Amino acid sequence: MKREILFRGLRTDGKGWVYGNLLNSISIGEVGEGMWSYTYIEVKPETVGQYTGFKDKHGAKIFEGDIVNCRLAFEGDGLHPCVVKFKQGEWLFINMEMKIADSQFLVEIFNITGNTHEA
């Protein structure tokens, strides 16, 4: 199974998010014909996040740093805001209310409500 490798970051010129390949910690873009042809845009390094492979109920891709409403197995039927982080080789959904982090208890992701980089 092949997974999609995709990154995003906030542009330094204030024009929103850019999605694509990660050239280095400050550049995201697309590789053209061959490895010598590419277009990259400078981004704020602290906002760079990788696509998790997860999507919400609406089909939106979930990236590291997103805040999502999710249901975790040990928390009953309620929805909780969770921050998405990558740590020790796995994606974690950290409950912002209880500070609990574990991807194995993830039952369902409902929607993206924001991210940790924008107010």
What is the tens place of the pLDDT at every residue in 32-71?
Answer: 666 666 788 999 999 999 999 999 999 999 999 999 998 8
Residues 100 and 80 in one domain: yes
Residue with tokens 């990259």: 40
Are 43 and 78 in the same domain?
A: no
Proportion of the chain above pLDDT 90, given as a percent? 42
Residues 110, 62, single domain; the answer is: yes
Strand partners, 55: 61
What domain range is 28 assigned to?
Answer: 1-47
CATH of the domain at 64: 2.30.30
Domain count, the chain: 2
Examine the pLDDT at 78 and tell me if it is beyond 80: no
Residues 42 and 60 occupy one common structural domain: no
Cβ contacts of 54 within 8 Å, gap of 6 or more: 61, 62, 84, 91, 109
DSSP secondary-structure letter at 103? G
Task: Return the structure tokens found at 57.
Answer: 């109920």
* Mean pLDDT for all residues in the chain: 83
Q: What contacts 83, CB < 8 A, 6 or more positions away?
A: 65, 66, 67, 93, 94, 96, 116
Q: When comparing pLDDT for 90 and 19, which is higher?
A: 19
What phi and psi values does residue 28 have, to the nearest 5 degrees? -130, 140
Mean pLDDT of 13-32: 85
Question: Does one domain contain both 62 and 115?
Answer: yes
